[in-house]
Amino acid sequence: PSCRRYVAGGRCKSTARLEGKVVLITGANTGIGKATARDLAQRGKVIIACRDIAKGEAAASEIRAETGNQQVIVKKLDLADTKSIREFAEKFLAEEKELHVLINNAGIMLCPYSKTADGFEMHLGVNHLGHFLLTFLLLERLKQSAPARIVNVSSLAHHGGRIRFHDLHGEKSYNRGLAYCHSKLANVLFTRELARRLQGKFQRQVGFTANVLHPGSVYSELVRHSLVMTWLWKIFSFFLKTPCEGAQTSIYCAVAEELDSVTGQYFSDCQPAYVSPRGRDDETAKKLWSVSCELLGIQWD
């Protein structure tokens, strides 16, 4: 029915191959990430980075069977622990000589208040800071492999977010819905500032880009922390995208030839989309960058 077609949204029509290329996707053991991995495994080598190795292996063997591509590899990464992120990056750099596409896909949503191993509020810690650190640690390898792409999965929810520098870790006040929105706004601002920094002569010559996207409202495990949302998701599942439909914009940003030199953009349904005014605030983006570096104890100039 046409209503269902409308819900499904844009599709990635690119048939670009990724032979000899390496794609790394975080949180690709379920949902959108898994669907993204399945599609990209038909094109080239895919590395799935996730916290739950057993789930990751199950997803990978399923994808290997479906695509006939044996180069679907699982590596352990816990984005809620900077020690795990550093260990992952160290092993990755030792084992993989190239990295062409980094898809920062993993995310958590509507968690009751909790903190990461490093004391960051969980949404901000996993959705933003974890990926910020991972990208920092893998940046040189991406540069050496260029043309390369960084793809960050955000959400329409960024419209409801703000960066509360006075209470980044939600210790003064916490609302789990808003905490998710704040972290998704951070994804948009991070991408904006990253693209600006990459935009020197180097980026224009070889095509090193960073883009961010809204996958759509997808029927996935993301709402598992909220009983109400889980029920609503079940009731309205007809009006939600399947993980495969939700993965289309991630795939598009990863492979579409027409995006070779497009950077710093926000996409939805495989086309540029409207970014909230807060998501276009360069001052906030710069400040978030330096605060993130400070929290993670890194220097990223």
Residues with a known catalytic role: 180
Torsion-angle region of 48 (φ positive above 0: left; ψ -120 to 50: alpha; else: beta): beta
Q: Distance between CA atoms of 246 and 8, rounded to whole angstroms?
A: 8
